[in-house]
Structure 1
Amino acid sequence: MPSSCKQLAIVMLAALLAGCGVFGKKGDETEGWSAAKLYAEASAELKAGSYQRAIELYEKLEARYPFGRYAMQAQLDVAYAHYRADEPEEALAAADRFIKLYPQNPYVDYAYYLKGIINYNRGISFLDRLIPTDASQRDPGAALDAFKDFAVLVERFPNSKYAEDARQRMVYLRNNLAMNEVHVARYYLKRGAYLAAANRANHVIQHYQRTSAVDDALEVLIAAYRALGKDDLAADAQRVLDLNRQAGRFAPEPAPPERPDLLQRVWEALKLDED
């Protein structure tokens, strides 16, 4: 083949490939969308359960229109979308970002509440949702984080509409944290680490008063003292246990709080969907 023909073939092939690249390129359908349209579409995807698509649209909204009420609300909604997409770390990061950027926002209490809910459910596996399990036997790390988040909400925003639910969850979480300590104490007792068992039980009695776990902690304490040969201390603990049981002073085990309806989000109060 003559060199001129080869050159022509190469040029035509290059043009063909370039054409494929141009015509095959997928455009961004959201190009030119207003902040209101981006927000409306993202919210619709969120309600429909298309969480990743909602996140994508919220992030585009924040990038293109970083100022204004739509970008502000997108911060909260993207946190919720990550939570529903089972991405707790991303959800917590988004909620923290909102709190940092808008500390005086009238809806910042929701961000704290959402953080608590995220951590509250973070330790619950798919199997836990199918088969009810003892929540006090899970890793207490997430429960402790949730308790702290709810405590901040209740302390800073005592009149928040989320405060009462947060208080109920704190009662439930506190009891679970106490029972987790009792489980550890029982483990030590079973392994023959009687002093460690007694110390754990005493910790529950001293730091988790007014929880149902105190009853169990006293039983462990009595068994540990008897195993250690401290019969006088065991008798004292038995007397305390009997007196409190007879007087009905031990708190009943709290029922798990109901799942909150987080679909009633703040954007409804802001009426952003009316534009």
Structure 2
Amino acid sequence: MKSFRLLAPVFLGAMVTLTGCSSSESEEEKIVLANMGAQQLYDRASESMEVGNFSAAAQTLSALDSRYPFGPLSHQVQLDLIYSYYKSGKIDETLATVDRFIRLNPNHSDVDYAYYMRGLTNMESDSNLFQELLTIDRSDRDPSKSRQAFEDFRRLIEQYPNSKYAPDAKKRMLHIKDRLARYEIAIARFYMRRQAYVAAANRGRYVIEHFPDTTQVKDALEIMVSSYEQLGLEDLRLNAMKTLKLNFPESDFIS
């Protein structure tokens, strides 16, 4: 305890010193940026991007965008700002910059890139790094961001089918569909535990109708078979079982 009391003032003093230095450096940075011209600012941001310092790049690009909103570099600055915000993990700033670019430049040659980045950003905001690292299945979490990402990619493909980003967007849409199907299955299983068999069967049927090309079809059919059995709906159970046997003969539900 004595040791802590002796060290604490020194530690706190160091904290104050570091905070003061940080504040001073921040003010100096603002002064430096304020004295730079448009090309100098852009070159500085480009250097930051090249070394992977996207947070610094975003700060410089934001300053450039504010001071020269209609300059010859304005479009490229906004596009680079979108990417820098995205790489910095600043979801709200990325989406706001994307939406502004699309609104102000609907006919720009790179507007397809803006739609693509909107989809990527919404898709990213639905993921959870820690859950993925720990392999925790959270299929039941709200998929609204994934739905928005799907819509972003769909719009890109429909409006710009020849875009160089379209092939990757299609692949990501398949991944998102599987995510949405897993959500429906998670909810269906919740209903099964609650003995809400009609609701469970409806969720299973929804997966079959809307996500037939996902990995969740087998689970959906099994839920339908089990639910119809509990409800005493023999014809529906037999139809679901027939489809299950035809497509997934290895299912444990087939005896």
TM-score (normalizing by structure 1): 0.75
Q: Give the superposition deviation at 1:172.
A: 1.2
Instruction: Tell me which residue corresponds to 2:23.
Output: none
Q: Give the superposition deviation at 1:77.
A: 1.4
Query: What secondary structure does 2:217 align onto?
Result: helix
1:37 aligns to 2:40 (yes or no): yes
2: CA distance, partners of 1:26 / 1:42: 13
Query: What secondary structure does 2:109 align onto?
Result: coil
After TM superposition, the structure 1 stretch with the greater mean CA deviation from structure 2, 215-224 or 43-52, is 43-52
Q: Give the superposition deviation at 1:150.
A: 0.5
1:175 aligns to 2:178 (yes or no): yes
Instruction: Tell me which residue corresponds to 1:216.
Output: 219
Q: Which has the higher contact order (CA 8 A, sep 6+)?
A: 1
Query: What secondary structure does 1:99 align onto?
Result: helix
Instruction: Tell me which residue corresponds to 1:145.
Output: 148
Instruction: Tell me which residue corresponds to 1:229.
Output: 232
Consecutive unaligned residues of structure 1, counting only runs of 5 or more, are 1-23, 247-275
Instruction: Tell me which residue corresponds to 1:163.
Output: 166
Specify the code of the residue in structure 1 equivalent to 2:212.
Answer: Q
Instruction: Tell me which residue corresponds to 1:21.
Output: none
1:239 aligns to 2:242 (yes or no): yes
1: CA distance, partners of 2:36 / 2:30: 13
- Conservation of the 8 A alpha-carbon contact between 2:177 and 2:211: yes
**1:60-79 superposed matches below 5 A:** 60-79=63-82
Aligned residues: 224
1: CA distance, partners of 2:67 / 2:155: 33
User: 2:199 pairs with 174, 184, 196, which one?
Assistant: 196
Specify the code of the residue in structure 2 equivalent to 1:82.
Answer: Y
- Conservation of the 8 A alpha-carbon contact between 1:154 and 1:166: yes
After TM superposition, the structure 1 stretch with the greater mean CA deviation from structure 2, 223-232 or 90-99, is 223-232
Q: Deviation digits for residues 109-130 of structure 1, max 9, x if unmatched? A: 1111111111111122230353
- Conservation of the 8 A alpha-carbon contact between 1:135 and 1:176: no
CA gap of 1:134–1:158, structure 2 versus 1, over 3 A, is: farther
Larger radius of gyration: 1
CA gap of 1:69–1:152, structure 2 versus 1, over 3 A, is: farther
1:101 aligns to 2:110 (yes or no): no
- Conservation of the 8 A alpha-carbon contact between 1:117 and 1:146: yes
2: CA distance, partners of 1:44 / 1:71: 18
- Conservation of the 8 A alpha-carbon contact between 1:75 and 1:94: yes
Specify the code of the residue in structure 2 equivalent to 1:232.
Answer: D
2: CA distance, partners of 1:205 / 1:25: 60
Q: Deviation digits for residues 194-217 of structure 1, max 9, x if unmatched? A: 111011111111222222222211
Specify the code of the residue in structure 1 equivalent to 2:177.
Answer: R
Query: What secondary structure does 1:179 align onto?
Result: helix
Q: Deviation digits for residues 163-189 of structure 1, max 9, x if unmatched? A: 000001111111221121011111101
1: CA distance, partners of 2:185 / 2:102: 36
**RMSD in angstroms over aligned alpha carbons?**
2.2
Consecutive unaligned residues of structure 2, counting only runs of 5 or more, are 1-26, 250-255
